[in-house]
Amino acid sequence: MTSGTLFRTKSIEQIQRDAALGLGDSEGGPRLKQTLGVLDLTSLGIAAVIGAGIFSTIGNASYNGGPAVAFLFIFTAIACAFAAFCYAEFASMIPVAGSAYTYAYASFGELIAWIIGWDLIMEYAIGNIAVAISWSGYFTTLVAGYGLHIPEYLTMDFLTASRGFTAVAELLNSGNTLEQIKAMAGMGGSVEGYLAWTSAPSIGGLKLVCDLPALAIVIIITTLVFVGIQESKRASNIMVAIKLGVIFLVIVLGSFYVRPENWSPFAPNGATGVLKGVSAVFFAYIGFDAISTTAEECKNPQRDLPRGMMYSLIVCTILYVLIALVLTGMVNYKQLAVDDPLAYVFGPEGVNLKWISFIVSISAVIAMATVLLVFQLGQPRIWMAMSRDGLLPPIFSSIHSRFKTPWFATIITGLVVAIPALFMNLTEVTDLTSIGTLFAFVLVCGGVLILNASDQKIERKFKTPYINSKYIIPIAFILIALWFVFFNREAVTSFLSLQDPNDPTLGVWDVVKHKIPLTIYLVMALALAWYSFRLSLSLIPVLGLLTCGYLMTELGWTNWARFLIWLAVGLALYFVYGSRHSKLGRN
């Protein structure tokens, strides 16, 4: 197989002609029901973004970074905005399902398209596992308020329960009581895990610990998505209106209980502490791109998709910053390492307004259900696009005769999300989802640069504003390098050292492996600075590459290793099936 075969690209002109004729992105493909307008798309974007991030992961991010986590939300939003411009430009050129997969096929070629299609499973399907787990936590709290207590071992994953038991058992053996451990900062989740582990029945010596509510919500949402886009749109719009109303209530009411002294120190753990929450904060933003998967169900995708992406990103950024400031102003940031921070600050440990805590719990259940809804919409449509191209079996692109949805792909998505949600850990799923999404953003930004150079005559109803990066990027690169050399030599020395100053016993590989992501990034940044100077590249896509690439380096070696293993599995599947059945390869 030659490199030319692996990197064959799809014709955008042909995709546009097929779309104009009402076909899919492969000749003769079925047409989905076109029912979405700009308001629906904006609502879907907000539905995808305002969910687990604002109701769950924002707590741990605030615990690590303090009130300064608000700046991390802004920085991450800017990085997403660079990518959003590139997504919007592609959406205006390629008004069909497939999102980053289809965009990569038109710019990088088939092999990279397969890689990004496989990678997007991490964003949508695996991301939904994390959302289902968070939903379960809020639902359990909510029903407990009505006196219905679901056993702890049926509301938690196996790994969290096991780790919680180990951590608490060590403290108990040291002479602490369970009440004392509960009062310790950051130990709330461990205590819950301990209680789940000790109360769980055993089968053959194996503890029966699983997250049953997570399974139930995935089944319900998958059924709704299976039934149709019109029903999904209506449900999403109603739920988004409810959760926005509650968020505004939380911001307004919470502002009366803000104590400015809680904002001091503003960045208690410095930049390192703030950036430690990058995975959780970025996870809060993923999803604005999911609406691009519904292109074939839009009334006017080339006009409305770019607007929907931008509007939803702006609204969500404002809400995240305000919520972060209110939460860290109401209680000390050290108290926020909990799964339900919004309910917590209004509960007995916070300002003790039980009625608002109850409302927040209801809203969180609704909010995270909308995230599940949007992602469960997105994943089947990506598989549908890949199947149309022959890279997956034909049944994945089969459209239900009555409901006009990719029925088989929807069912498989439900199974891929529901079964792992019973057993997987929230933090590890979040990190894996974030690195997969960032990789997609990097490729989309790079794809815009490629098409700007090779296909300038292609019709674009939306184009990323061109700002010449010829001098901006190289000068910025040099200034940042000089700043580190003269004002932050410790960071440079630490990076170049083959020994960990905090643990001299570590071997060279154990030290070096954690520096590999940053090394790759620095090489990429240097190459981009050179090409920006030489080719006068467009600034916004370049900044998207640089910011999203940097955020990937903050996710740590372990996540990179898992990510590379995931891609290796995907490549094996491509060469076993996809490359042999590719319709483009047979043309």
Domains of the chain: which residue ranges? 3-139+214-449, 158-201, 464-586
- The conformation of residue 50, written as its DSSP 8-state character, comes to S
Cβ neighbours of residue 579 under 8 Å, at least 6 residues apart? Answer: 1, 5, 6, 110, 585
Q: Which amino acid is at 424?
A: M
pLDDT at residue 12 is higher than 70: yes
Whole-prediction pTM: 0.80
Architecture of domain 3-139+214-449: Up-down Bundle (1.20)
Condensed to tens digits (0 to 9), the pLDDT of residues 160-190 reads: 888 888 888 888 888 888 888 877 866 777 8
pLDDT at residue 586 is higher than 90: no
pLDDT at 221: 92
Question: Rg of the Cα trace of the chain?
Answer: 24
pLDDT at 526: 94
Q: Which of 90, 123, 85, 99 is nearest to 542 (CA)?
A: 85
Condensed to tens digits (0 to 9), the pLDDT of residues 203-258 reads: 877 888 888 898 899 999 999 989 877 778 888 888 888 888 888 888 898 888 88
Give the mean model confidence (pLDDT) for residues 364-375.
Answer: 83
Burial class (CB in 10 A: 0-12, 13-18, 19+), 6: middle
Phi-psi region at 22: left, alpha or beta (left = phi > 0; alpha = psi -120 to 50): left
Condensed to tens digits (0 to 9), the pLDDT of residues 37-70 reads: 888 888 888 888 887 666 666 777 888 888 888 8
pLDDT at residue 562 is higher than 90: no
Q: Would you place residue 306 in the very low, low, confident or very high pLDDT band (cuts 50, 70, 90)?
A: confident
Q: How far is CA 270 from CA 259, 277, 278, in A?
A: 21, 12, 14
Give the mean model confidence (pLDDT) for residues 322-341.
Answer: 83
Considering Cα of 482, then 487, then 491, then 494, what sign does the dihedral take?
A: positive
- The conformation of residue 185, written as its DSSP 8-state character, comes to T
